[in-house]
């Protein structure tokens, strides 16, 4: 049920806003809430490992449905070839299954270390721990949720998300991200050229991907 809900959320967001939100926190909170139901059937959901599986399921469904399945079939449609939508969907589905298997096999390896600083994973993990241990951790979690709620109402919601990521993200990655935003924002007013028009950001991403490929191969 969480996976179906996550897929619907992902499809709705990418078709209306063009983005895909991380729903792992929602999965963790739902699993924790279900675990508090005073019935024997739901008692197993009090396990932090089961809660972790629930947040992984909903997050994977959100990104899989939106980014891996819906987005690719929009390419032939945008190019005026609706006859290729179904073949593209079949290929995208196969790619999703293969990618899922590869990620499962390489997780906690030198290529994809589990100890890496993954902000969404850290946030979901800390949420589960806070719900399990209660006490001060749970109070801080509720306080943070209240701050995020009020901030999203009176401020830009995206700004609150960026504010939260700043607490758990890698300082070097966030610094370079900030530098990139500043360069992109001031380059056109100062030099009269748009970096996006010359595909500079895309070229940098391709270069970074090639470096990552070499690192993985080594």
Q: Give residue-wise pLDDT tens across range 49-97.
A: 988 889 889 989 999 999 999 999 999 998 999 999 999 999 999 999 9
CB atoms inside a 10 Å sphere around CB 176: 11
One-character DSSP codes across 97-163: HHHHHHHHHHBTSSSB-TTS--HHHHHHHHHHHHHHH-HHHHHHHHHHHHHHHHHHHHS-HHHHHHH
Alpha-carbon Rg for the chain, nearest whole angstrom, is 20
Instruction: Kindly state the percentage of the chain with pLDDT values over 90.
Output: 18
CA terminus-to-terminus distance, the chain: 41
Domain-wise residue ranges, the chain: 2-133, 170-218
Residues with Cβ within 8 Å of residue 87, at least 6 apart in sequence: none
In whole angstroms, what is the distance from residue 184 CA to residue 17 CA? 22
Instruction: Kindly state the percentage of the chain with pLDDT values over 70.
Output: 94
Global pTM reads 0.69
* Per-residue pLDDT reduced to its tens digit, 176-185: 888 888 888 8
Of 21, 30, 67, 66, the C-alpha closest to 51 is 30
Q: What is the pLDDT along the chain (218 residues), one digit of tens a residue?
A: 889 988 998 888 788 767 777 788 888 888 888 888 888 888 888 888 988 889 889 989 999 999 999 999 999 998 999 999 999 999 999 999 999 999 889 888 887 887 766 777 887 888 888 888 877 777 887 888 888 888 878 776 667 767 776 776 677 777 888 888 888 888 888 888 888 888 888 898 899 889 988 887 77
């Amino acid at each position: 049920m969480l996976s179906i809900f996550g897929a619907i959320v992902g499809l709705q967001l990418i078709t209306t806003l063009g983005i895909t939100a991380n729903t792992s926190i929602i999965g963790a909170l739902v699993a924790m809430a279900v675990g508090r139901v005073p019935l024997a059937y739901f008692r197993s959901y009090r396990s932090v490992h089961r809660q972790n599986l629930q947040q992984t399921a909903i997050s994977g469904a959100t990104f899989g449905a939106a980014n891996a399945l819906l987005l690719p079939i929009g390419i032939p449609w945008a190019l005026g070839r609706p006859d290729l939508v179904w073949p593209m969907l079949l290929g995208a589905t196969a790619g999703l299954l293969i990618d899922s298997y590869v990620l499962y096999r390489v997780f906690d390896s030198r290529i994809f270390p589990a100890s890496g600083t993954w902000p969404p994973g850290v946030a979901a993990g800390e949420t589960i721990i806070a719900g399990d241990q209660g006490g001060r951790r749970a109070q801080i979690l509720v306080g943070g949720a209240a701050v995020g709620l009020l901030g999203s109402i009176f401020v830009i919601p995206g700004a609150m998300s960026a504010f939260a990521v700043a607490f758990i993200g890698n300082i070097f990655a966030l610094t370079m991200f900030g530098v990139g935003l500043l360069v992109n924002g001031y380059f056109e007013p100062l030099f009269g050229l748009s970096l996006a028009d010359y595909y500079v950001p895309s070229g940098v991403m391709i270069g970074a991907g090639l470096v990552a490929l070499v690192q993985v191969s080594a």
